[in-house]
Structure 1
Amino acid sequence: MKEWLLEHPEVRTIRVAAADLNGQARGKRIPARYAASVIENGTRFPMSVLNLDIWGEDIEDSPLVFETGDRDGVLKPTERGFMPMPWLDAPTALLPIWMFHEDGTPYEGDPRHALARVVERYRARGLTPVCAMELEFFLIDDSGKTLQVPPSPRSGKRRKAAEIMSVRALDAFDRFFTDLYEACEAMDIPADTAISEAGLGQFEINLVHGNDPLKAADDAWLFKMLVKGLARRHGFAASFMAKPYPEYSGNGLHTHFSVLDRDGRNIFDNGGPEGTETLRNAVAGCLWAMRDCTLIFAPHDNSYERLVPEAHAPNGICWAYENRTAAIRIPSGAPAARRIEHRVAGGDVNPYLMLAAILGAALIGIEERMTPPDPISGNAYALDLPLLCESWQEAIDTFETSRIIPRLFPDQLIQNMVMTKRQELHYMQELTPEEKVELYLDTV
């Protein structure tokens, strides 16, 4: 890590940041001359900082605050190391960190540690998850009272229509996407294909698959930070909020995953299109946990505006082959690439918690050899299916009382998550719809 700073003498300041439960970056600004101390000894801030609400406020009555004296955790660099922050004017480096107790044990309220626990369970069985994510976002002109698509820097015109897979829509923001890909390269974020999507000024970028789920979640977290920061440099906003426009589709964050054995073989591949029995076990585990995990996949008030019928977001719990109306899709293609696509999460999720929920549920399905219902065919919205939680309140209540969730997440994180979301639910009722959009537009 020290070598990176020596190779980049232009960097005078660094940011050290960890993800809180809402996926917000919490941390410090430090002069680069003091970076060696952070690398060797870590840094410190209160454990309660990873358990703030969406406004960045303490959780009322949280035992992490006054009851324990608002004690510090020790934050150490992750294996990611330093990377540039291309959306800032001054040359600056970001050092991702995660939280530990004084004795060196992981702090169970840290969402990155929640994912690390799941990955370790796979490793103990000689298995390696391979993950990729597709992130949707909107480019938005939020300078007026009404949100609208930004004018094209090329033509100065606004295209006030959804343009699915339009090359023209991509070319209209060519300078932004060129800068975005260059920034992803500098930050080692494996950005692949970009397309225009079904929403107004909506785009999707795929992140290439890899066999390190922690890096995959890091990539998604950093990508969201990058896209939002870089868009502001270009004079408009970018948002991953679930549903900024009521009349258009919302933002999803679809996750593809397969699992390799000790010999590097895909345990979902049986040489044909249907996949192995192990694939069906993993599907069954994902379906089994899906409703109780609604709060992970839809963590905010605005999230539930996306999960409605016929809006390109699943609300029924089901699976299918090559069917995008289903919550879980088995894509077609070469058998060696046989995988599961989990389509429930919105773009507003915490990637660490989302991936921990998906991979954790899949592993339980594999371990217990769960059997899924038959795959559906046709339009899932037209079928009588078990449903995800239909409101934020229901999702919080279900998460709190679930017998499934404690098998996926540590007690400390569950308690923190419930307290956070109950506080947000209470104060969100005081906001107008316009104030909610203003809040979520930049934060999630």
Structure 2
Amino acid sequence: MTKAAATEFDTFIKRHPQTVHVDAFLHDLNGNLRGKRLPVAEAAKLWKSGLEMPRCMLFLDPTGDDLNPGERSTGLGDPDGAARPIPGLLANVPWADEPTAQILLQMTDPLGDPNHGHPSRYCARAALAETLAHFKRLKLTPVVAVELEFYLFDRDRSTEGLPVAVKNPLTGRPETSKQPYSIDDLDAYGAFIRRVAAYAREQNIPASAAITEYSPGQFEINLKHEADAVAACDHAVLLKRAIKAAARVDGHHASFMAKPFLDQAGSGMHIHVSLVDSRGKNLFGESGAKGETLLRQAIAGLQVAMPESMAIFGGNLNGFRRYQPGHNVPITPAWGNNNRSVAFRIPAGGGAARRIEHRVAGADANPYLVMAAVLAGMLHGIEKRLSPTAETKGDAGDDADPNVPFEFTAALDRFAKAKILPRHIAPDILELMRDQRRLEMQKFMGTISRQEYDWFL
């Protein structure tokens, strides 16, 4: 245990001597948090030697099964790695029944692995950190922010197992109409929003604005811009946990599922990115040709990388249902100023605020891999000095670009042939994701749906 780590834990316990438990968990490939709840008397070992956990916890499927992708787990004897605390993230759990702390962990590879003792080559968080190292060579720092959309549902599903619209806290009636940017709805759900804000403050999560979105019971909560893209994704992961906990207090269920209803808006994860130099100056906002050139090169890289990145942005089978015309979801690699129909939007405002808003990913995609793919595309465009297509100044269109795979298996096939991503993202995590997603798809197709019986029986 380093002196700094020891000080962090000891200082926290001195300030919160009533702490009974410590929740220690890591973030897996599908966005689930997996770990242990330790008595506080045993928690110090986390900072000394880490928490021994099967390395496959990084890539269990959404149901918790180990599919042994590429013989990476049971094929190797299901080895343990040591999951270690991430500095600076130890915090109270304000919604716990007993005084509890939490800490986000990062897995290291097991004894016998060539990478033993280092952040696991199958850890998406570690892969993002490696991608960021490429920017250091260019003396650039990405400043990023994550926006998360989600739905509130009733805690109980219908008799058919379908999600049920949340009941408005003021009227007691199920939500039936969309009211984007509604102040009345923010008032109606004020207790929930204030609770999320309080949880975020308690856990040092830099949450920002809250708005109602384009479907009944849909919301968006933003995170502030940060000069550490890994930390920004950590905060997105922890904010999701806080939002779900805040919803439970009111008997609601918060879901980041990308497309819960075909006829309503899906939930996205929008990534805002600017690039600053060693003096902290936003180069995208620099006046003259230099700033414009760098911005256009970054956009061009995102455009050419989009087809091979869709398996990451879509995330899962349901995520690809989100790519439909008419729902403010990009179905072409278009870009434009102040235009929500495009994939790569330059929001209104200039100077220090000028940035790219990447609007492609679903809310339940892995934030570390989404961020890595976005940054990889930008790097490619800058290093190759690419030029983007002409700016789209109206509706980007209702016809999907035939060169971009908007179907899950096609996206996996294109991902497997990626040329740009492996140059800037560790190949091990890309190969793991390719193998894992194929196995998840095979498992999913092993079940006969209700609709198949309705149509074909």
Same fold (TM over 0.5): yes
Alignment of 1:111 with 2:124, yes or no, is yes
Match of 1:372 in 2: 388
- How far apart, CA to CA, are the structure 2 residues paired with 1:398 and 1:384? 16
What is the alpha-carbon distance in structure 2 between the residues aligned to residue 378 and residue 129 of structure 1?
Answer: 29
Letter in 2 for 1:97: L
Alignment match of 1:284 (pick from 300, 314, 338): 300
Q: Percent identity of the aligned residues?
A: 36
Distance 1:434 1:95, change over 3 A: farther
Candidates 172, 177, 196, aligned match of 2:193: 177
The 1:49–1:243 alpha-carbon spacing in structure 2 relative to 1, beyond 3 Å, is same
> In structure 1, what is the Cα distance between the partners aligned to 2:244 and 2:417?
35
Structure 1 counterpart of 2:66, from 53, 58, 71: 58
Q: Bigger shift: 147-156 or 266-275?
A: 266-275
Match of 1:27 among 32, 35, 51: 35
The amino acid across from 2:261 in the alignment is Y
Give secondary structure in 2 for the equivalent of 1:170: helix
Specify which of 81, 85, 102 is matched with residue 94 of structure 1: 102
SS at match of 1:315: coil
Say whether 1:295 aligns with 2:295: no
How far, CA to CA, are the matches of 1:384 and 1:311 in structure 2?
A: 13
The answer to whether the 8 Å contact 1:80/1:96 transfers is: no
| Residue identity opposite 1:104 in structure 2 | G
After superposition, the Cα gap between the structure-2 partners of 1:50 and 1:140, relative to the gap in structure 1 and judged at 3 Å, is same
SS in structure 1 of the partner of residue 224 of structure 2: strand
Aligned match of 1:316: 332
SS across alignment from 2:48: helix
Question: What are structure 2's unaligned runs of at least 5 residues?
Answer: 1-7, 452-457
Equivalent residue letter for 1:329:
R
8 Å contact kept, 1:275–1:338? no
Conserved in 1, the CA contact under 8 Å of 2:361 and 2:370? yes
Are 2:415 and 1:399 equivalent residues in the alignment? yes
* Distance in structure 2 (CA, Å) of the matches to 1:347 and 1:384: 20
The 3 A distance-change label for structure 1 pair 260 and 422 is: same
Q: Which residue of 1 aligns with 2:75?
A: 67
- Give 1:7 shift: 0.9
Specify the alignment match of 1:439 in structure 2: none
CA shift for structure 1 position 197: 0.7
Aligned to 2:146: 133
2: CA distance, partners of 1:86 / 1:378? 46
Q: Which moved more, 1:411-420 or 1:299-308?
A: 411-420
Match of 2:322 in 1: 306
Determine the C-alpha separation between the residues in 2 that align with 1:116 and 1:321.
30
- State the partner residue of 1:256: 272
- Separation in 1 of the partners of 2:280 and 2:250? 43
1:15 aligns with 2:23: yes
Give the corresponding residue for 1:240: 256
- CA separation in 1, counterparts of 2:179 and 2:94? 29
**CA distance in structure 1 between the aligned counterparts of 2:424 and 2:365, rounded to whole angstroms:** 17
Equivalent residues in 2 for 1:318-357 (5 A)? 318-357=334-373
**In structure 2, C-alpha distance between the alignment counterparts of 1:195 and 1:273, rounded to whole Å:** 36
SS at match of 1:292: helix
How many pairs are equivalent?
A: 435
**Does 1:213 find its partner at 2:226?**
no
Task: Tell me what 1:438 maps to.
Answer: none
SS in 2 for 1:293: helix
Contact 2:155/2:251 (8 A) holds in 1: no
| Aligned-pair CA distance for 1:338 | 1.0
Q: Report the AA paired with residue 145 of structure 2.
A: A
- Alpha-carbon distance, 1:91 to partner: 2.0
Partner SS state of residue 247, structure 1: coil
Partners of 1:86 and 1:183 within 8 A in 2: yes
- Say what the alpha-carbon RMSD is for the aligned residues: 2.0
Q: Does the CA-based 8 Å contact 1:240-1:251 persist in structure 2?
A: yes
The one-letter code of the counterpart of 1:77 is P
Q: Unpaired runs of 5+ in structure 1? A: 436-444
TM-score by length of 1: 0.93
CA deviations on 1:14-63 (whole Å, 9 max, x unpaired) are: 11111111121121111111121111221221222111111111114542
Task: Give secondary structure in 1 for the equivalent of 2:73.
Answer: helix
Tell me the distance in 2 between the aligned counterparts of 1:205 and 1:332.
19
Contact 1:320–1:326 under 8 Å retained in 2: yes
Tell me which amino acid in the other structure corresponds to 1:112: R
Matched residues in 2 for 1:21 and 1:384: separation? 28
- Give 2:104's aligned amino acid: P
Listed one character per residue, the Cα deviations across residues 129-188 of structure 1 (whole Å, up to 9, x for unaligned) are: 100111111111141414332222233223311111111111111111111100010111
Which is worse superposed, 185-194 or 151-160?
151-160
CA contact (8 A) 2:179 2:185 kept: yes
